[in-house]
Chain A
Amino acid sequence: MADTTTRAKLRWGLIDVIVVVFALVPVLWIASLSFKTPATLTDGKFWPREWTLDNYKTIFDTDQFVRALVNSIGIALIATLIAVVLSAMAAYAISRLDFPGKRLLVGVSLLIAMFPQVSLVSPLFEIERQLGLFDTWPGLILPYITFALPLAIYTLSAFFKQIPWDLEKAAKMDGATQGQAFRRVIAPLAAPGLFTTAILVFIFCWNDFLFAITLTSTERARTVPVALSFFTGESQFEDPTGAICAAAVVITIPIIAFVLFFQRRIVSGLTSGAVKG
């Protein structure tokens, strides 16, 4: 018996290793490239033979990257904040209140979740040009909020349904209004769910490439994924590989941090929003 469990553990351990290697190799590879010197960059070895931080110095010396990084952080944070506030309000209503039109809202967010984003590229391009939103932060924040909302509403509704709502009833019996009950009692209980949702929304905004490349044209609002793709086209005489890899590693750091510290939350957030019923 003990023998079989040891063997089962060994087998699972082996499978685990395969999964981990498969998941990590592309990330390690780009990190490895970012530490290679120009001379060894094209040696085709997986690990660097000579280590250097020059690529990182280069990108932080260029305005192009630093501006894009500021844009990425600013746009993603603002979009996340607004999306979480709006979705928290809607999710509370969906999970707690009884009102006509609720199913319609759930249906609409489902449709938006399935909406092909590329279909919006042409009209948004023209609308934003007319409104003066083209190549600005709000011009990107708006579509990001829109497409983050369905995910955020589902995740939060799922979280909200698990909250012990009797506390709300108790607060109302003590004379609190529905609004007060929401702010004083429920909001603190909902904080973990809000936080998880915020992480998921941030990852979504941080990741976007399609809107960022079509709705921006200069460094004013260009985010890092787009700036990365432009590193390539411009310098034909200097190999931009090292710089691209360094920049890629920099924008991967927040993702790795989220995943390392909040793995449980992210998994529960994604799975709870997915299957309800």
Chain B
Amino acid sequence: MMSSNAATSDKPVWQHRTTGKQLAIWFAWLVFVAVFVACWMFISNRTEWYFVYDAPRIAADIWGRATPPRWPYLDKIWKPLWDTLNVATIGTALSLVFAVPIAFLAARNTTPSATLIRPIALLFIVTSRSINSLIWALLLVAIIGPGILAGTIAIALRSIGFVAKLLYEAIEEINLDQVEAITATGASRWQIMSYGIVPQIMPAFAGITVFRWDINIRESTVLGLVGAGGIGLQLQGSLNTLAWPQVSLILLVIFIAVVISEWISAMVRRAII
């Protein structure tokens, strides 16, 4: 009654969306739900539900075995922890050496050639970013053998893309007036770079570096699982021998190390800005 009135009268009708749009949105939701259910069936088919129903008991069992942590094992952890720190720090430093030039080559406003060099730089970045540091480590362990050198290079290779991507985005966002002003003084290309561009991106650069270092601490704790050195090696060993009290101790140490590094990184970033 009311609706037919509204339709025939001259009063404007307000609708949030047009009918066609509304239908399209419903259809999109339908497809989405169907895809999700299909995916879920796939996972479900590959799951031993028997184990899953048993999960609470197993979790309780593991918890029982893992507590208390085996504190004396700490003595054997200091050296791997030091290695982990070095893998993250030296790896980050190494990545900067390559990431900075790549970022300048990839940024639209500093690249020497937008048609040739920029795509190559972007390809380097996406390759480095797409591949998890664990895969890089797997690869390097296969090539140069296990140890922290493989871990360090893996961390560096993964970080290049991350740092270069964020840095080139920062370069593209700089204020062009400042660059124009330096150009107008008759400065050379490199001078424009060092006076007009570098000061503008310095805070972003420092922030990105510390941020990545913090992430790398986290990443390097697990590199040992594939033989690339650090505390992950101890974790792997303890897991293989089902030494749960050692596992819990290592996880605790990793947790503390990550929290500390995150705290340091947040503090440094706050100091920069």
Same complex for A and B? Answer: no
A positions within 8 Å CB-CB of B: none
